[in-house]
Amino acid sequence: MRKETFHPGAGLTVITALSLLAATAQAAQQPLKGPPTQNTALGTPDQPPAGFVALFNGKDLTGWKGLLKDPYDNPDKRAALTLDEAKRLQQEANEDMRAHWKVADGILVFDGKGRSLCTAKDYGDFEMLVDWKIEKSGDSGIYLRGSPQVQIWDTANSGAQVGSGGLYNNQKNASKPLKVADKPVGKWNTFRITMIGTRVTVLLNDELVTDNVIMENYWDRNKPIYPTGQIELQNHGNFLYFRNIYLREIPREKGTIGLAEEERKQGFVPLFNGKDLAGWTGTEGYLVRDGLLIVDPSQSGGNLGNLCTEREYGDFIFRFEFRLTPGANNGVGIRVPQGGQASYQGMEIQILDDQSPRYRGWLHDYQRHGSIYGVVPAKTGYLKPVGEWNYEEIIAKGKQITVKLNGTTIVDADIEKASTPKTPDGREHPGLQRDKGCLSFCGHGDYLELRNIRVKPLDK
């Protein structure tokens, strides 16, 4: 992702000081009145789900801080505070927090009278799990990087019939959830929120409600969302309940430029220089940033074509790394004629977050990640979690096509045998007869990142 420093100068010192101060805040553990609670956990603070850490220890408010009073709930205004001003305001905010946020039976409870609760630490890209519950007429939300918000509310409220989980404050991009997935008021709901770059995906009770949508900067709509910021549990004057708050940070990495010496000796050549798209055609919707090849449909009005090599290849070893966003769909075209459709006029090796709820119930085996589309299904279960880098190798030798994902062979097939007497999808694939063509990435309207793209030609 693009590496940015949004808060220059003294603002960085202020944010650090706020975090250190807030991390020491502890809550008196006096139960508050409210409806009976249940606590069937996804995990426990001592044993969070694999790859996650607990943001809430189930005992007190260690690791949390109070939200500064208006106007310093605005990240830009917080960053402009002097160190002394920030310290004084944070002390007041923590007093407010301790008065209104308590821990009862392992549950965070808010009495409806104070301000929001914030993580002491700032986060960039992450995946978050959180259980939440509201009472009748309840209204809440989760701020991401200090900005509003993934919406929580009683669907009986005016305007709330669309359900929870939408990016309520968006104006240009989608703000409403795809469906209503809320449980009845008083029951526990679970969010799975993934934020990578500017894009947010939300599952509510295991239903996809926000699908890789750009989150807008509520505080300054002329700028993208902040690269990092605190996570906030928002309130609108109602009793609120949270539990099982877990987070997996997703590292931001730049692309590496150049080949390893061993690969160079083996005959590999780079196809991507990390600076521009020299050597490629059909570049609309593709850009280069921090040594990464970015597939970004927002750069082309949502229209993406195939990004193709100028040179054609027949037999080869093709290596690259890719990082998916939730539900992302792309592909590698091999032996594709210039301007042709990769999946039929050449061959398309699927790049797909095939575990996304977006594809639940209708995805065929020959459409899953690594499959030769419509022709050969791949072994599954070898993709890394969304947001982590995967390494893939595609080997083409005549009719034999091999695909390796993160070191495991997931396809090793003779395409002539695999398509005789017909292909699994029952369609014509004339590209199976081609002996050469371009290598391509097939844009299907989703954001993802690529790096370390290289090839070893095997043509005689």
- Reply yes or no: is the peptide bond before residue 421 cis, omega within 30 of 0: yes
HSE of 282, CA atoms in CB hemisphere, 13 A:
20
Q: Same domain for 297 and 438?
A: yes
- Beta-carbon contacts of residue 50 (< 8 Å; ≥ 6 apart): none
Report yes or no on 381 lying in a domain. yes
Angstrom distances, CA of residue 247 to CA of 108, 190, 307, 421, 444: 16, 13, 35, 49, 29
pLDDT in tens, 428-455: 999 999 999 999 999 877 889 999 999 9
Q: Same domain for 74 and 223?
A: yes
Please report where in the chains the tokens 């395409």 appear, as a residue: 415
Report yes or no on 5 lying in a domain. no
- Can you give the residue range of the structural domain that contains 103? 10-250
DSSP string, 181-230: -PPPTTS-EEEEEEEETTEEEEEETTEEEEEEEEPB-SS-TTSBPPSSB-
385 burial class (0-12, 13-18, 19+ CB within 10 angstroms)?
middle
Q: Same domain for 196 and 268?
A: no
pLDDT score for 429? 95
pLDDT in tens, 354-406: 999 999 999 999 999 999 999 999 999 999 999 999 999 999 999 999 999 99
- Nearest Cα neighbor of 166 from 144, 185, 146 is 144
Report yes or no on 177 lying in a domain. yes
- The alpha carbon of residue 13 and the mean position of all alpha carbons in its chain are separated, in whole angstroms, by 28
- Write down which residue in 250, 279, 310 finishes a domain: 250
- Write down which residue in 250, 285, 301 finishes a domain: 250
Contact 54, 48 (CB under 8 A): yes
Report yes or no on 255 lying in a domain. no
- The alpha carbon of residue 165 and the mean position of all alpha carbons in its chain are separated, in whole angstroms, by 15
pLDDT score for 255? 85
Of the chain, the end-to-end C-alpha distance in Å amounts to 39
Query: Which residues in the chain come in under a pLDDT of 70?
Result: 1-43, 257, 300-304
DSSP-assigned letter for residue 459: -
Domain total of the chain: 2
- The alpha carbon of residue 412 and the mean position of all alpha carbons in its chain are separated, in whole angstroms, by 30
Distance CA 289, CA 280 (A): 16
pTM for the structure as a whole: 0.82
Q: Same domain for 89 and 225?
A: yes
Q: Same domain for 265 and 225?
A: no
DSSP string, 409-430: EEEEEEHHHHTSS--TT----G
Q: Same domain for 120 and 265?
A: no
pLDDT score for 3? 26
Please report where in the chains the tokens 């989703």 appear, as a residue: 446
Cite the beta strand spans of 366-444 per DSSP E: 389-397, 400-405, 408-414, 437-442
Report yes or no on 4 lying in a domain. no
- Write down which residue in 203, 220, 250 finishes a domain: 250
Contact 443, 304 (CB under 8 A): yes
Contact 337, 346 (CB under 8 A): yes
Q: Same domain for 101 and 182?
A: yes
Which structure tokens are listed for 47? 């044993």
DSSP string, 297-312: GGGGTT---EEEEEEE
209 burial class (0-12, 13-18, 19+ CB within 10 angstroms)?
buried
Which structure tokens are listed for 174? 């989608």
Residue 175 CB: number of other CB atoms within 10 A? 17
Contact 293, 450 (CB under 8 A): yes
Q: Same domain for 349 and 452?
A: yes
Angle between helices 10-22 and 83-100 (to 10 degrees): 30
**CA angle at 70 for the pair 67 and 73, rounded to the nearest 5°:** 45
What CATH number does residue 309 fall under? Answer: 2.60.120.560
For the chain, how many helices (H) and strands (E)? 6, 26
Q: Same domain for 212 and 314?
A: no
Report yes or no on 1 lying in a domain. no
Q: Same domain for 362 and 222?
A: no
Q: Same domain for 265 and 345?
A: yes
What three-state secondary structure class fits 366?
helix
Q: Same domain for 135 and 224?
A: yes
